[in-house]
Amino acid sequence: MNLTFFFFLLLSVRLFGGHRLVDACFSAGAGIPYMLPRTTEFKSRTPPVTTPVKNRIPPVTKPVKSRIPPKSTPVKSSVPGNSSLSIPQELIEYIIDFLHDDIPIIRRCSLVSCAFLPRSRYHIYSNVFIVHIAELHLFRKQYAGQLYQSQNLLGLLARRPHIARLVTRFGMHAMSVPLFYEFMDTSFVSIISSLPNLSHLELVARGNQGFWKELSITTHKPFVTALRSRSLKTFIFNGISFQMPRRFDDVFTAVANPALKHLSLACDSGADDACRPFAPILPPPDGLPALLESLSISGAATTRNIKWLFSNQSLYNVRGIRRLSLQLCNKATSSLIQRLLDETQATLEDFTLDGSAWSWAEPLVRLDLSRHRQLSSFFVIVSSPLDPLLSRTRLSPALRILTVEQACDKRKPFLVPCSVNPWGRFDAHLDKLKLPVLRNVHIRLHSRSHDLCFNCGHELPKHPDAWKHEVEENMPLHREKGILEVEVVKQRYCIPRSFN
């Protein structure tokens, strides 16, 4: 590639385009984690006359030439429409890629000014998340350069209207429940309504499981209206409750659309308990073919929410699901879960099931996965290796990876008499199944010595190596095959957070 383009680009950064985005970022308070104070360096929109421009241009060296992509990259295919670019598309994308983790520098660069925005694949405004200023330090690492306060973001969108069409992913996150209260006003609804290309929406209260925030009355109606105006591909709604079943109906009716592929719901309240108990899982009617590819449902209301979403209303089609995660409570029934699984026989590839609080409440639990010919991974969370969910579930012959997590009390590790070897029994049971392509048996052990093991995963139990060795010695059949893997984990797997 001709390095003349590269020099021209760097020269334009200094002389022309850099002030546009810098002014937008600092005047509106965008990008809180990387926000820099105004200094004399940024007061002038043009460089001082005494500054020698040529000193700003890097010398032509071999390292620069080697970092530029080869000429073979097709330019025309990556530029939408009729382009009149004077700078090659690969060069723009390469520099943005190179500076993706240096937000202050990329903000000073004309690459992200109005002239170049439509023609670049990456942009710092594609993902936008609102958090409270008191919790910036909690989210800064995961969402570096993407965090805003709601009023600052509203101001930025008002000052720079072209930014709104760049945002494709928007979310609100809070760790503590009191801070999430501040988000429940119409400001975030205004933001959703102003993003024409929004495809990914997530509202997540990450506080301790069991503390749930309800949408306010003033927020509910405009929120439902905003959902109807957007064709979302992903909708994550975790930690927000519905004290009135009618509001649950409104939200999940509004979000159903042909484009929706990924749905995550975690709440302890939701649909009405009066749902028909044994209604079949029905495909959606014509005009609402929301063909899901991934589904995650958890919380105490999982059973009745499944009934309402897929039996009573049939707003979502589950026959195309490839990834399914369920957290079941003691009110779930095998027949309901089996009907849902039967609809996914042709496509399901990855199934995660937290049945630690379910299987002991229903002694006759029995699931059949033997007809799922695409199922290659099964992750199950149980309270004991002798859990009926393990011993009575028929596994798919296509299964390649089996992961079993035991969240147990170290004081009573297996909840069975000392004379019983639970992992030895599981080892023998699994060997009898003769799964032809099984390549990995992964055992995860977690000490449930505290109540909040979803959150307080900072310490391993005492003597983790001895605990691990005990299980390995009790599973010789799969250890000798070389497919057994045992680990002691600090924190148990949490289904609602798998989408975070």
Q: Looking at residue 209, what is its pLDDT? A: 45
According to the model, what pLDDT value does residue 445 have?
85
Low-confidence ranges of the chain (pLDDT < 50): 1-5, 7-8, 10-57, 60-85, 110-121, 208-212, 410-419, 450-458, 499-500
What pLDDT score does 30 carry?
A: 37
pLDDT tens digits for range 42-59: 333 444 444 444 444 455
What are the two backbone dihedrals, phi and then psi, of residue 151, each rounded to the nearest 5 degrees? -70, -35
> What pLDDT does 403 receive?
96
Q: What are the pLDDT digits (tens) for 398-412?
A: 999 999 998 765 444
CB 308 within 8 A of CB 280: no
Each domain of the chain, given as residue ranges in start order, spans 3-71+87-119, 125-321, 357-500
Enumerate helices (H) and strands (E) in the chain, giving the number of each: 17, 17
Q: In the prediction, which pLDDT does 15 show?
A: 41
Phi, psi for 487 (deg, rounded to 5)? -145, 150
Ramachandran bin of 120, using left for φ above 0, alpha for ψ from -120 to 50, beta for the remaining angles: beta
Whole-angstrom distance, CA of residue 130 vs CA of residue 250: 24
| The pLDDT value given to residue 64 | 42
Which residues is 264 bridged to in the sheet?
236, 296
